[in-house]
Amino acid sequence: MPHLAVSDVRAKYGSLEVLKGISFSIEKGEIVALVGPSGSGKSTVLRALMGLTPITGGDVDLAGERLNYSSSREVRAARDRMAIVFQQYNLFQNMTVMQNLTLAPLKIKRWDRAEVEAEARRLLGLVGLSDKIDAYSDQLSGGQQQRVALARALALKPQILLLDEVTSALDPELVGEVLDAIRKLAAEGMTMVIVSHEMGFVREVADKVVFMDAGQIIEAGTPAELFDTPKTDRAQNFFSNILRH
């Protein structure tokens, strides 16, 4: 049984159907990369999983349990088990790095403070920011903010981590440090769905690549299958264009 199973998921913005029946699955500890042209619906898949964009059809099962997004309580139950990091940095600006990490575990989960803080320190060490524990977000570079956002997402011990182009807004020289942090998470066995334009990185870390276009999955397979021997014309076009750069 897959860890996360998405079957025939649909979503709309107004009358525009942007997800037209999306199905894919991911095993525990696996990394799936969503790739595709701009506007194809990659972000919407992640937003729908987090209950930020309403699902209009289909099913989501996580660890054998159906996630039901029909009430705000159910949506929060889904958010309990998954975490997301966005492209734009969105740290809480009025809080220190430590407070960003511990707010939700302490105030929302009401977990034990000593344990929460110890875990926060461990996560900051993992993303290489132990020395920034008391910094505010405006004292951090974009790459550092994204690494804090990664650590914050992990502080709630999610069963799956969703990453939406977390390096796209960064200066090129800062991309590497964030990718390194993700590599470490992968080595820890974190299950992840990654949206990324960094094809080299996708090829390196992803177990499976899902190619989307216009709200549908066109082709899915291992990185080698999609990058080297794509079966569909659309995938062929996309990868030959993007890999040329």
Partner 1 sequence: MNYRFQFGVVWENFPQLLEGAWLTFQLGVFAFAGGAIVGLLGAAIKTYGPWPLRLLVDTYVVFITNTPALIQIYFLYFGLPEVGLRWSNEACLLIGLTLNAGAYLTLILRAGFISVRVTEIEAGQTLGMSLIQQIRYIVMPHIAKSIYPALANFFIVVLVMGTSVGALIGVDELTGQAINLSSVNYRWLEYFTVVAGMYVVLTFIASIGLALLGRWVFRVKARIF
Ligand X SMILES: Nc1ncnc2c1ncn2[C@@H]1O[C@H](COP(=O)(O)OP(=O)(O)OP(=O)(O)O)[C@@H](O)[C@H]1O
Q: Please enumerate in sequence order all residues whose Cβ is within 8 A of that of 28, keeping only pairs 6 or more positions apart, or say none.
A: 3, 189, 191
- Among the listed ranges 40-48, 92-100, 149-157, 224-232, the one in contact with Mg ion (CB under 5 A) is 40-48
Q: Minimum distance from CB of 18 to ligand X (Å)?
A: 4
- Contact call for residue 52 and partner 1 (CB under 8 A): yes
- Among the listed ranges 2-10, 89-97, 170-178, 190-198, the one in contact with partner 1 (CB under 8 A) is 89-97
Site string for partner 1, 32-51 (x = CB under 8 A): ------------------x-
Q: Minimum distance from CB of 109 to partner 1 (Å)?
A: 8
- Contact call for residue 88 and partner 1 (CB under 8 A): yes
Q: Minimum distance from CB of 115 to ligand X (Å)?
A: 36
CA distance 123 to 65: 28
CA distance 30 to 5: 13
**Among residues 40, 43, 96, 102, the one that binds Mg ion under rule CB under 5 A:** 43
Strand partners, 86: none
Instruction: Dig out the tokens for 186 from the structure.
Output: 């992968």
Q: Please enumerate in sequence order all residues whose Cβ is within 8 A of that of 53, keeping only pairs 6 or more positions apart, or say none.
A: 11, 13, 44, 47
- Note the residues at the interface with ligand X (CB under 6 A): 13, 18, 36, 38-44
Tell me the torsion sign for CA atoms 211, 189, 8, 51: negative
- Contact call for residue 220 and partner 1 (CB under 8 A): no
Burial degree of 116 (CB within 10 A; 0-12, 13-18, 19+): buried
Are the beta carbons of 202 and 181 closer than 8 angstroms? Answer: no
Q: Minimum distance from CB of 43 to Mg ion (Å)?
A: 3
Give the number of C-alpha atoms closer than 13 A to the C-alpha of residue 51, restricted to the C-beta side. Answer: 17
Residue whose CB is less far from ligand X, 18 or 91: 18
**Among residues 84, 120, 154, 220, the one that binds partner 1 under rule CB under 8 A:** 84
Q: Please enumerate in sequence order all residues whose Cβ is within 8 A of that of 5, keeping only pairs 6 or more positions apart, or say none.
A: 25, 59, 60, 61
6 binds, among ligand X, partner 1, Mg ion, none (CB under 5 to 8 A by kind): none
Q: Which residues bind partner 1 (CB under 8 A)?
A: 50, 52, 72, 76, 79-80, 83-84, 86, 88-95, 103-104, 107-109, 149, 152, 156
Q: Which residues bind Mg ion (CB under 5 A)?
A: 43
